[in-house]
Structure formats: C-alpha cells, structure tokens
Structure 1
Amino acid sequence: MSESHRVRRADGPVIADVVVPPSKSIANRALICAALADGESEITGVAPGDDTSAMLDCLDRLGIPVAVSKRDGNLVGAVVGSAGNLPAGPITLPTRLAGTTSRFITALAAIGPGPYLVDGDPPLRSRPMGPLHNSLIALGATLEPGDRPGHLPVTVSGPLRGADAVVMPGNVSSQYVSALMLVAPYIRRGLRLGLSTSLVSRPYVEITRAVMTAFGADDIELSDRRVHVGEGGYFGAAYRVEPDASSASYPLAAAAMAGGAVCVRGLGANALQGDARFVDVLVEMGCTATVSADDTVIMRRRDTPLRGIEIDMSDISDLVPTMAVIATQAVTPTRITGVGFIRKKESDRLGDLADELAKTGADITVEADGLLITPTDLLHAATLDTHHDHRLGMAFGILGLVVDGIEVNDPGVVSKSWPAFWDALEAIPARGQ
C-alpha cells in the first residue's frame, strides 16, 4: 500500500453486496477461551488483521499454537487447550498495536507462573492499562512495570489467587472488565468485581459473557456496578464468529451518505454485537432498513434528506468516526455525547477526528464528552491523516465517496481490522450511474 490513497468519488447511488471480516472482538475472546479450555476447539471465522495476528503469535509463544486453515472462504482455527496450565517463562509476548490483545494477554499471563514480558509498539505503550494492572495485583499476580507504571511494557507473573472483592472504574475501558472475566474461571473462588462508576460499552461485556458461556462458563452475573464469575474452567467447543458489526458500519454508511442500497451479508437480527444497532441510528436519520436472520440492508433515496440527531454513543463508541462523517452530509446538526473516554483510543478519537474533518471545511466542535457537527454547504478536497487509527482511516474513505479529492495518508492502517478495506471500497459499483 502506498503512503497515501486517493478515494474515487461515487458518481451516483451505491448498490452493493458486501462481505465484511469476522469480528476481531469476538474472535479474540473465543481464542482466549479456547486457549484455556480443557479439550480441543474449532473457531470458524478467525478474523484477519493485525489484532488477531498478534493474539495468535502470543498464544503460540505460550505453547498454544492455533492451526489456521481456509475452509469455504473462512479462516478456521484449531486449538488444543491448555486446561489453564501455561509454561514457565521467561517468555516475551509482543502485542504490537493491539489494545484488546494486550489487555487480554496480560490477564491470561497472570494465570501462569511467569515471568512473561508483555510489550507493544510505541503508540500502544502510551495507552493506559493501570486499572487492569492494579486489579491483577489485587488478585495476587506480580506486575513489574518497565518505563511507566500502568503502561506497557510490563512483566507479569502469576498465579492469580483470588480476592474477596476487587474494585475498578467502569467508565475507562470495558476491555479491562472483559480481560478479568475471561480468566476468572481459573481464579480460585472466581471473580467478584465492583465498579466504582457505571460501565461504559456494556454491549462488549455482554459479548464476553456470551462467548464464555459457549465454552461452558455459565456462572456469570452482570449489573451496572458488579460483575461475578464463578470458578470452573472452560471445555473445548466449536464456535462460529459472526461478521464484524463495526466494520459493517462503513458500507452501510456509504448507502446513507451517497444514497442507494447496501447489503451486508451474514450480519442478521441475532447479532451479538451492540454495534449492530447502528442500523436503528441510520433509520432515525432518514434511511430505510431491512434486517433478516442472515443479512442487513440499508437504503436511502437521494431525494430523502439525512437528518441530524442527538445521540449518546457510549455503548457504540467505535462508531463515532463513522457517525461524524455521516453527520457532515445531514441537513441539520448532530450532537454526539457520552464518549469523552475515546480520547485515549488508538488516537484521540475526538480531537484528531475533528482536526482532520476540519481540513475538508467541516464545522465540527469538540465538546466535553463528544462532538457537535453542523452541516456546511460544500466540503472540499483534503489530505487526511489517520493518526495510527484504523477507524479514522476507514471513516475518511467513506467520506471520499461523497467529497471529491479526499486523500488518506497511511492507508495501510486499516490492516488492524480489515486488510482488504480499500479493495472493498473500490468494488462498490457507484461509478457513472
């Protein structure tokens, strides 16, 4: 991939069937459960991309290789579980740029004797890990920070002995909660976690519970301020990963912005992911949706304007960049709230996003916990930086369908979750209609 990618503007309404990658969030959860399980597992839909690749590498280094093969267009992973028995270190576990992987692997490492050095690339080292590290220490693990406490690199040694109760904030990252939940069946007396603030991105924690249940851990209780997981372990299972609802937001946004109809195959009414409810958001903005058991279709007539809305996106925060670019095409303002915590994602997903969209002439204001997007008459060509963030890169690509002359720097950043994104964007048949 070149240093920049120029997006071709759509000449008319989009009409497309799109297959998006499997959910990396679900795949990484399933891989952790399968790695700890007693028995063999088969995971259909091992997600492509850097995050999953980093997870597979770390598991291999921990003596749990995943044999990946292709079957009927899907990547299938065969895993022989460790039954919770990890090899002694020293072992280095490189998590690259993968925030989810780094947090899940840190918790997994605390199950074994150690020492295990968990480290990532420089941008990942700047991301906070303190609440997770402190909770693992409270549960009996030993964590020795490298450069800065609460960040990578960190050396982890177990085992986890359990505690009567552990408390962490719930409004920083649901990944901390999910990481503890995933290893909780292997903690003596399980996990009793209290949250000092309300939980953000709760749908991701619900995904964690659903995946754990599929591998046999069914003693799980969730509430706004409390999480309980019983001791008991996992058993091997056959598990199919559904398409990624976050990735689906981009082609669905294309239909909303350019008009036309886009179908995302395989993402249906029973989807686990909270991000699948983005369909309802698009309907509120003026689109028409058809959701069957197997597929999701978004349609908009070009003579039906997009309406701006006010929306709390705390539970679907990964979709803020998608929402922001859609909002630039609405006829009334959009206010996004409840997402101040995303300023510490792969990028500052409020400040960096606003700065880049402003280069196109967009009227976008960063507020205390979100964004205000006021439509303007004419956006113009610009070269946009991705700030090491795949979600910014893909959102800017969709903007390029309706704004001529959008060029995206570092387009290869999309390899984190959807390596074939630019090819999929080019395949949308919207030229010369």
Structure 2
Amino acid sequence: MTYTITAPEQINTTIKLPASKSISNRALIIHAIAKGKIIPQNLSNCDDTEVIINALKNMPEVIDIKAAGTAMRFTTAYLATKVGEEHIITGTERMKHRPIAILVDALRYLGAEIEYTGEEGFPPLRIKGKKLEGGHLEVPGNISSQFISALLMIGPVLENGLELKLTGDIISRPYIDLTLWTMREFGAEADWTDVDTVTIKPTPYQDREYLIENDWSAASYWYEILALSNDTNSCIKLEGLMDGSKQGDSVLRYIFSLLGIKTTFASKQQGKPTTVTLKKHKCMLPRLDYDFTGSPDLAQTFVVCCCEMGIPFKFTGLATLKIKETDRIEALKNELKKLGFVIHDENNNTLFWDGERCTPTNQPIETYEDHRMALAFAPTAFHHQGLEINHPEVVSKSYPQYWEDLEKAGFIINKK
C-alpha cells in the first residue's frame, strides 16, 4: 500500500493523542505481577500494547509478540517469575534478529530457567517460570533501557528484592526513571540509592485505579507538522498531556521551542492531563546540536524536521538506533537523500548535516517496517508536493489513528 499526501495551507485543529505506549506497557506488566483486578484506564490501542494485553490475558504456550521489542523484553522477565508455568516467546523475523542475550544472562544470574530454541542470543526463548532469589546484579548502563526496565519491574517479587548496578555510561536514564515512577505508583519501594545503583525492596505491588497519560512521542509529529507548516497563524491543540510529565520524550517541547514552537498548558496541576496549545513563531536558530542519549526515539523527528527547515545539526547519543525496528541511521540517510538531503553518520552513534544537498529523486519513502519512519516523514508533505509513503500501515505499532488525525487536520491522503 502507498499513500500520497498533500498538506493543507493552514492548520487549526484539536487532536486527541494516543495513550502513552511506554506507560501502558509498564502498567500492564506491573498489573500482571500484582495479580491485579483493576485494569489501568486509557490504555494505548497500538500494536505493541495489544500484544501484551493478549499475551497476559490468554497466556498461551507459544506467545507471539510480533514486532514489539518492548513486549519481548518486558514479557520475558515476567514469564521468568511465573512459578510452575512454561512458555515459548517468539516474534517476527526481524525480532528473531534483535539481540536479547544481555537480558537472558541477567535473568539466568538471578536463577531463571531460559533456553534459546533457535539462534543463540536471540528469540525465540523457552522460559520455565520459578521463584527467583534476586539480590545484587550488575549490567552495562549503555544497553537498551527496556532490558533494565524489565529487570526492575520484577524486583518486588524477588525473594531478596533487587540491587541493580549499572556499569559505565548510563543511556536512556529518563526511561529508567519512568519505570521507577510507574512502579512507585503501584506501591513499590524502588529508587536510586547511588548515582549508578537502583535498590528495590521485596514489597508487593498494590492493585489500584490508574489513569495513563497520553503520548509525548506521538506529540512530536504534531510539533514537527507545525514547524514545517507554511502559515504562521496555524495552531494545534493536543489533548491529554501533563506539565511535569515523567515521559522522557516530553523534553521535546524544550527542543522545539528552539525551532520556534511555543507550548502552553491549559492547566499546570501536577498529575492531571490537560490540553496543550502549540503556536508558531519565527525561528532564528542557525544550527542545532543535541545529545539524544536520554530520548533516542525523538531522533527521527528532529533529523527530518531540521533538514526540512534548513537547519544544520549534529545529533549524538544515537547508538541504539541501529538495533531498533530497523537500522534507523541507515534508513534516515537513504530516505532523506530522496528528498534532496545528504546526511552523514560517524561512530555508529552520531548523525550530522552541514547543509549538503543533492538532486531529489521524489521516489516513495520506504518505511522499513518502522512506524517512526512513516510518522516522521509524513509532515514533509508541506515541502514536497505529491509525497508518497510506502507501507503506511506500520504506524499501527504506536499511533494507529495517525492518518485519520492528519485528515482531520486538513491533509489529503490518496490511497493505492
């Protein structure tokens, strides 16, 4: 399937964002560990959350989490604690090539029974659940935060709790903090006890009513839309976001303020979702340098946006992009070249653009089975008439109603 996208001359719309996938997935795993009866409210309806819901509800012998990396990591740790149960967890072909050895080794160290049913170090996994002792564990701090979060969330049900020391550089710390915050919302005693150590006491989770905030990652594409729009009077309102959000990607509002997008909250009451108003101002920024170590999922949004705004950049902290749904560094280089931009990478963790251009090919944008490629490239329709995107259905992984929301905002989408 291919969509051809035409952008409107002006935007004045109110969008109800999808619920946070990150919080939904954490709350669901915690709810399952707690054997809770009260389902969290405002759960995300994206693919990644749906596979966790289905897995936890049905608990089949073979659990297929498809392309959901978060679900693979979180559910693996959860299954390791399910005393007396045995399951195989698997996914798509791409998932079978995404490394998981660091998490498996850590769980085995805690006493888990896990074996590889295919290639060593990669899913599928056969997991025999048992009571785990817990205690002291060390893992590298530069691995995916999802590995770390998976270990943290089972901490309260380990006999001796968990003392997790992160060695070396710690990346994606905001996602670790989001996990700890969500755990504490359900009664866990979990916090940093040193600059590199998290301590979790063996205190059971408490079942409770819980409302999930909407998704700041999804908001990033609307900020990008306003930044690339040609009308200075355009205005976008986004529902269900919080001032002081614990979502790491909420940092985007500060970065976009440098690109001329002002954020106003209807209410600043802590812990209460409200409506955010975005307005466009003139951007005078000559270039943007930023370290995305704490929020790598925003990289595609800002790489594409800065190119289209003609703002040179150097973005570091992108090491995890090579092992996401696709190699996002190569994907960005390939697809931006189609739009006339030549970007470069170095050290497997940096992307930069010095203003170098090439002749646009105007070929359709490929999405590489990666939702964020489609989400981040759609706003470039403001600058590229007749923009085409292949396999647009990939947005279901995190933002299923994206195309409908674009149409609501005045975009014209022709489907073939």
TM-score (norm 2): 0.91
**Separation in 2, partners of 1:348, 1:106:** 23
The answer on 1:353 being equivalent to 2:332 is yes
Aligned length: 400
Q: Which amino acid aligns with 1:5?
A: Y
* 1:103-182 equivalence runs, <5 A: 103-112=73-82, 113-182=84-153
**Separation in 1, partners of 2:35, 2:370:** 36
Query: Which one is further off, 414-423 or 266-275?
Result: 266-275
The answer on 1:299 being equivalent to 2:279 is yes
**Separation in 2, partners of 1:384, 1:430:** 17
> Residues 294-321 of structure 1, C-alpha deviation per residue, up to 9 Å, x if partnerless?
22233224x5456431000111110111
Query: Which one is further off, 220-229 or 127-136?
Result: 220-229
**Separation in 1, partners of 2:22, 2:100:** 18
**Separation in 1, partners of 2:379, 2:193:** 36
- Alignment-derived partner of residue 93 in structure 1: 63
**Separation in 2, partners of 1:249, 1:380:** 27
The answer on 1:275 being equivalent to 2:245 is no
- Alignment-derived partner of residue 85 in structure 1: none
* 1:372-391 equivalence runs, <5 A: 372-375=352-355, 381-391=362-372
Equivalent in 366, 386, 409 of residue 428 of structure 1: 409
> Residues 374-402 of structure 1, C-alpha deviation per residue, up to 9 Å, x if partnerless?
44678663311111100111111122233
- Alignment-derived partner of residue 55 in structure 2: 58
**Separation in 2, partners of 1:136, 1:191:** 12
Q: Is the 8 A contact 1:390 1:417 kept in 2?
A: yes
> Residues 329-384 of structure 1, C-alpha deviation per residue, up to 9 Å, x if partnerless?
23431111111221100111111111111111112112222211244678663311
Compared with structure 1, are the counterparts of its residues 299 and 405 closer, same or farther at alpha carbon in structure 2 (3 Å cutoff)? same
Query: Structure 1: any 5+ residue segments left out of the alignment?
Result: 63-89
Q: Secondary structure at the match of 1:296?
A: strand
Taking only the aligned residue pairs, the percentage that are identical comes to 29
* 1:10-409 equivalence runs, <5 A: 10=8, 12-62=9-59, 91-112=61-82, 113-221=84-192, 223-258=194-229, 259=232, 260-292=234-266, 293=268, 294-301=274-281, 304=283, 307-368=286-347, 369-375=349-355, 381-409=362-390
**Separation in 1, partners of 2:54, 2:375:** 26
Q: Which amino acid aligns with 2:255?
A: V
Q: Is the 8 A contact 1:263 1:296 kept in 2?
A: yes
- Alignment-derived partner of residue 69 in structure 1: none
The answer on 1:4 being equivalent to 2:2 is yes
Q: Secondary structure at the match of 1:155?
A: strand
Q: Is the 8 A contact 1:144 1:155 kept in 2?
A: yes
Compared with structure 1, are the counterparts of its residues 147 and 299 closer, same or farther at alpha carbon in structure 2 (3 Å cutoff)? same
Q: Is the 8 A contact 1:18 1:251 kept in 2?
A: no
**Separation in 1, partners of 2:344, 2:227:** 22
